[in-house]
């Protein structure tokens, strides 16, 4: 077993090696990799990228600096035609380089690819969700390395609800906003500070890494065009450049969508510039619709939040239905469901917000709201059951525990896919961006050819409030005798009994 290998794209190499100041996240990537003996590679195809630089002096310097990295050589006979067959149209020379990097990832010569190229991320996800999860932004690579190798020292990002006036005007989170919106300080003072507008901030290591400002609107005073009487505008959605990736964006989006669903909003919307491709991709994935462009040239993205039952549609997978209608999901006949037993140790790793919520209930006035990490998660187990249908519901049953709740179904997930890892190296790759497990935990699972580990990807859909405890589960005949020791299929009426035990914000 070897340590994982990280392949870096040209844009990351330049970020580390050009003669400008190195951004904090780029420096952290290099420092963490060196500290934990993680190999960083460049691809021979990157040399092609550099060779196309018209600035001869810069090209010469870049070619000299690339020698400090180990180089992955090209595959003999791999041509443009073969790459196009797998990765789609390659119209430019740079597209060929991108496809070559993805090919290196798929054949296993590297475990993860780190790139700031949003088009390359999109190309990987078009190929497969599994491949897309192994393509990381720099911030996500840093987060994965910290979680994997420095889990004891890591404090998971947490969301705090604050009023606008409590955020210092010199906070670095505002730098990019001032650059995009010339009258930003005036708007912030008049529209946010004076009205004490509510904000969510993501605190990461004692600093503000992300900011979301919200505002309630009504018809006649809104840019939203989708019908609805109660409208929630996201006035500001900002993640600091050194924290930018997928995880913090998902954390903020989860917060606003769960809040809007719980408070019966009909529509959520925000405006973005076309250059904000990472945010646009995230919005598109979770069902926001680009309805129009406003007078300032911004794209308006809207998401309806109906409260009627989500009906299965012919030709649309249950998973895609849940993803685009998030946080709603399909229920009832035709939707498989499973009870998934989980030990306390792994429950707290997967759902840290439930641990912190309990702590906050003991200390009123701390000011934190429901925190967590991402919507897209991964669960590892060796259960014999096979789950085959994307969109199936997973009801996580926390077994006998020291911390409450004990012996209760706490959480609903929406199944995406299941894969088998036959080695620790393969387990690292398959867990990918979604991993919240330390490397010691991954090694302890001892994945082998004979005893593979199941890697279950799912969306976090809802926490039951209150959790459904064992007594209630037995009374409703969800569990007839002892609680299951392994993944157990549930009948439609058992599924309904669990969902009926808690308000989930829409009809089932």
- Which domains does the chain carry? 5-149 (3.40.50.1010), 158-304 (3.40.630.30), 337-500 (2.30.130.30)
Going across the sheet that includes 231-239, the strands are 158-163, 198-204, 207-217, 231-239, 267-272, 299-304, 289-293
Q: How many C-beta atoms surround the C-beta of residue 51 within 10 A?
A: 11
51: left (phi over 0), alpha (psi -120 to 50) or beta: alpha
User: What mean pLDDT, rounded, does the chain reach?
Assistant: 87
Instruction: State yes or no: cis peptide before 327, omega within 30 of 0.
Output: yes
Q: Tokens for 157?
A: 């990002």
Contacts of 168 (CB under 8 A, 6+ apart): none
pLDDT, mean of residues 332-346: 93
125: left (phi over 0), alpha (psi -120 to 50) or beta: alpha
Angle, CA of 191, 194 and 200, to the nearest 5°: 70
Alpha helix stretches (DSSP H) within 116-246: 118-127, 129-132, 138-149, 175-180, 184-187
Angle, CA of 218, 264 and 276, to the nearest 5°: 70
Tell me how far apart the alpha carbons of residues 285 and 215 are, in angstroms, rounded to a whole number.
Answer: 23
Tell me how far apart the alpha carbons of residues 214 and 252 are, in angstroms, rounded to a whole number.
Answer: 11
The confidence score (pLDDT) of residue 369 equals 32
Query: Pick from 311, 330, 332, 334: which is nearest to 322 by CA?
Result: 330
Residue 16 scores a pLDDT above 70: no
Give tens-digit pLDDT for 431-444: 877 777 888 888 99
Pairing state between β 198-204 and 207-217:
antiparallel
pLDDT band at 278 (very low <50, low <70, confident <90, very high): confident
pLDDT band at 357 (very low <50, low <70, confident <90, very high): low
Query: Pick from 259, 346, 268: which is nearest to 303 by CA?
Result: 268
| Residue 202 CB-density burial (10 A; 0-12 exposed, 13-18 middle, 19+ buried) | buried
Tell me how far apart the alpha carbons of residues 83 and 78 are, in angstroms, rounded to a whole number.
Answer: 7
The confidence score (pLDDT) of residue 353 equals 80
Strand intervals (E) in 327-440: 337-342, 376-381, 393-398, 408-421
Tell me how far apart the alpha carbons of residues 447 and 170 are, in angstroms, rounded to a whole number.
Answer: 49
Query: Pick from 486, 151, 123: which is nearest to 338 by CA?
Result: 486
Give tens-digit pLDDT for 448-470: 999 999 999 999 999 998 999 99
Contacts of 54 (CB under 8 A, 6+ apart): none
The confidence score (pLDDT) of residue 294 equals 94
Instruction: Give helix 93-106 / helix 118-127 axis angle, nearest 10°.
Output: 50
pLDDT, mean of residues 103-112: 93
Phi and psi at residue 318, in whole multiples of 5°? -60, -35
The confidence score (pLDDT) of residue 371 equals 33
| Global model pTM greater than 0.95 | no
Give tens-digit pLDDT for 134-184: 999 888 888 888 878 875 444 455 688 999 999 988 888 888 888 878 789
3-state secondary structure 89-127: CCCCHHHHHHHHHHHHHHCCCCCEEECCCHHHHHHHHHH
Give tens-digit pLDDT for 206-231: 678 899 999 999 999 999 999 999 99
């Amino acid at each position: 077993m070897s340590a994982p290998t990280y392949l870096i794209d040209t844009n990351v190499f330049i970020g580390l090696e050009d003669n400008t100041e190195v951004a904090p996240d780029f420096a952290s990537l290099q420092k963490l990799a060196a500290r934990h003996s993680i190999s960083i590679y460049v691809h021979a195809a990157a040399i092609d990228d550099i060779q196309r630089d018209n600035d001869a002096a810069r090209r010469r310097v870049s070619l000299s600096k690339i020698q400090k990295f180990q180089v992955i050589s090209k595959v003999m006979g791999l041509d443009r035609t073969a790459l196009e067959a797998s990765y789609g149209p390659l119209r430019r020379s740079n597209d060929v380089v991108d496809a070559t990097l993805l090919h290196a990832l798929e054949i296993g010569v590297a475990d993860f690819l780190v790139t700031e190229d949003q088009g390359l991320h999109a190309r990987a996800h078009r190929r497969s969700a599994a491949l897309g999860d192994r393509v990381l932004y720099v911030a996500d690579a840093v987060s994965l390395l910290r979680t994997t190798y420095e889990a004891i020292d890591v404090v998971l990002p947490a969301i705090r609800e604050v009023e606008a006036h409590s955020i210092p005007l010199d906070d670095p989170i505002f730098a990019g906003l001032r650059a995009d919106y010339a009258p930003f300080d005036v708007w912030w003072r008049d529209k946010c500070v004076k009205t004490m507008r509510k904000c969510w901030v993501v605190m990461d290591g004692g600093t503000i890494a992300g900011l979301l400002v919200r505002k309630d609107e009504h018809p006649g005073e809104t840019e939203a065009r989708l019908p609805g009487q109660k409208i929630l505008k996201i006035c500001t959605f900002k993640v600091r450049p050194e924290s930018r990736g997928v995880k913090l964006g998902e954390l903020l989006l989860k917060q606003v969508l769960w809040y809007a669903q719980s408070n019966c909003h009909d529509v959520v919307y925000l405006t973005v510039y076309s250059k904000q491709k990472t945010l646009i991709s995230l919005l598109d994935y979770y069902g926001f619709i680009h309805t129009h462009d406003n007078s300032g040239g911004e794209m308006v993205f809207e998401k309806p939040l109906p409260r009627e039952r989500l009906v299965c549609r012919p030709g649309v997978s249950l998973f895609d239905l849940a993803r685009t209608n998030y946080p709603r999901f399909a229920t009832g006949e035709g939707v498989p469901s499973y009870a998934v037993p989980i030990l306390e140790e792994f429950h707290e790793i997967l759902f840290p917000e439930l641990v912190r919520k309990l702590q906050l209930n003991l200390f009123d006035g701390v000011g934190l709201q429901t925190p967590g990490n991402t919507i897209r998660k991964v669960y590892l187990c060796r259960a014999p059951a096979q789950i085959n249908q994307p969109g199936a519901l997973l009801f996580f049953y926390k077994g006998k525990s020291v911390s409450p709740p004990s012996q209760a179904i706490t959480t609903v997930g929406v199944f995406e896919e299941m894969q088998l890892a036959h080695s620790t190296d393969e387990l690292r790759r398959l867990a990918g961006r979604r991993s919240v497990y330390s490397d010691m935990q991954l090694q302890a699972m001892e994945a082998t050819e004979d005893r593979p580990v199941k890697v279950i990807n799912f969306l976090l859909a809802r926490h039951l409030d209150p959790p459904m405890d064992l007594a209630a589960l037995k009374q409703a005949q969800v569990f007839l005798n002892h609680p299951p020791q392994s993944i157990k299929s549930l009948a439609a009426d058992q599924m309904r009994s669990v969902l009926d035990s808690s308000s989930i914000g829409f009809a089932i």
